Amino acid sequence: MLLLLGIFVIVILVCWLLRKRILDLANRGADQMNRILGYHLLPTTLGSFEDDIQDGLTSSQFDLEANLDQDDQRAGLKDKEEILKIMKKQKVSFDEARLIRQQRLLKKNNIDPATGLPLDPKFVTFGSPSSSSS
């Protein structure tokens, strides 16, 4: 009995001495598990259009300078992390990354990215402007 008590005290003492390392390891494990499960932290700062411009999230087709000129008070672009990730992984421009993201979103919602029409087999159309009747 005394031996078990001694082992218990030693284990508690070692855990107390290594508490910072144990806590750090637990935090890293939780972060890794969250990444595996697809969870991510919400941004703690709202951001701004100025930050987005500095990150390269602007182009002639999608000009954020106009938002700054108009004193737009919104928090900047939505889903900018996903666009930045696409830009880095696929080495594409901002406009191409936006297009890729939009096409993925359409496919996810069962919509053909090329035509914008639903991919549902039950979808019925009653003619199109391009067809001519004789």
Q: Is 49 helix (H, G, I), strand (E, B) or coil?
A: helix
Q: Residue 110 belongs to what H/E stretch?
A: none
Q: Are 94 and 62 in contact (CB under 8 A)?
A: yes
46: closest CA among 73, 19, 18?
73
Q: Please give the Cα distance from 10 to 16 (Å, whole number).
A: 10
Residue 75 pLDDT greater than 80, yes or no? no
134, pLDDT greater than 60: no
Give residue-wise pLDDT tens across range 80-119. 888 999 999 999 999 999 999 999 999 999 999 988 888 8
CB 94 within 8 A of CB 87: yes
Q: What is the pLDDT of residue 42?
A: 66
The strand pairing partners of 118, in sequence order, are 111
| Residues 6+ positions from 80 with CB-CB distance below 8 Å | 47, 52, 55, 57
What pTM does this model have?
A: 0.55
